[in-house]
Amino acid sequence: DAGVIQSPRHEVTEMGQEVTLRCKPISGHNSLFWYRQTMMRGLELLIYFNNNVPIDDSGMPEDRFSAKMPNASFSTLKIQPSEPRDSAVYFCASRRGTDTQYFGPGTRLTVL
């Protein structure tokens, strides 16, 4: 199994630009999670999907952030417009049932 796949691995953009992060969960997993990790705030859950349906998006910082899961094998996290304070590592994770979450390698986002 290839594990959770995220792209791009690194993204550098300028303030005001739109950023789209992509995630392919492990096949057969029915839950998908987006996290953000910073030195100051640690690992924060942004949103998670269960069977492609958003269950809890209370962690999404503001309306500039949106996430979609059009099918069981793909999800996107979009930031529009991006701001320097959005700079962080964004992780996608997936799981089957209620047990172990498997994390992707992360996307390191830098907003200048």
Partner 1 sequence: SQQGEEDPQALSIQEGENATMNCSYKTSINNLQWYRQNSGRGLVHLILIRSNEREKHSGRLRVTLDTSKKSSSLLITASRAADTASYFCATNAYSGAGSYQLTFGKGTKLSVIP
Footprint on this chain of partner 1 (rule: CB under 8 A): 31, 33, 35, 42-43, 45, 48, 50, 55-56, 91, 93, 98-106, 108
Q: Judge contact between 7 and 107, C-beta under 8 A.
A: yes
Nearest approach, Cβ of residue 99 and partner 1 (Å): 6
39-78 burial by CB neighbour count: b if 16+ within 10 A, else e?
eeeeeebbbbbeebeeeeeeebeeeebebebeebeebebe
Q: 5: which strand partners?
A: 24
Nearer to partner 1 (CB atom), residue 54 or residue 81: 54
Nearest approach, Cβ of residue 52 and partner 1 (Å): 13
Nearest approach, Cβ of residue 81 and partner 1 (Å): 27
Q: 108: which strand partners?
A: 10, 89
